[in-house]
Amino acid sequence: MKVYIVRHGETLYNALNQYSDEKIDLNENGILQAKELREEIKEINYDVIIASPLLRTRHTSQIINVHKKEIIIDERIKERDTGDLAGKAFSSTNREEYWNYNTTIQYGTSENIKDFFRRVYDFLNDLKRKNYNSVLIVAHSGVSKAFNGYFEGLKDGMFLHRGLKNCEIKEYEL
């Protein structure tokens, strides 16, 4: 099965380098990015779109759904919960450490990275049992980092620079 993961379009928090919350939607640039991506993926014959339940991913899914396929929402691929970091500048934490799979540091009430990866891995293991030829996943930078760990290995455990940019797409074979 081909699995295409897409990160949602840009949000205000992305533009300001801040930790997001669950309620934020795409900004004007994010909508434009999604429209450009829609043109790029016309040739991909996906069976279904599976999206995170967050507003920014649902909105991106609707824009890029060029083939008008079913959009399924799955809680397991929502972004890592930033907890009380939401709205704070990235500079308020050590971002390398925040995305270090082997860290012992807990930043406020944010979701533990290993718990987050397990949640995403559970989604991928379940997806293996589905009868799709090609799936388009619309999720988040953090989820794309977990995909990278699943398909390419944990390596040194450093994931800060292993995620997708806004409306970037990556293909994997599951």
CA distances from 123 to 86, 112, 118, 152, 154 (A): 25, 17, 9, 17, 17
Integer Cα distance of 2 and 20 in angstroms:
29
Instruction: Name the strands in the sheet holding 169-173, side by side, starting at the edge strand that comes first in the sequence.
Output: 71-73, 48-51, 134-139, 2-7, 169-173
**β-strands 2-7, 169-173: how paired?**
antiparallel
* Cα end-to-end distance, the chain, whole Å: 5
> Quick one: which of 123, 141, 6, 33 has its CA closest to 76?
123
- Greatest distance between any 2 Cα atoms in the chain: 44
Active site residues: 8, 79
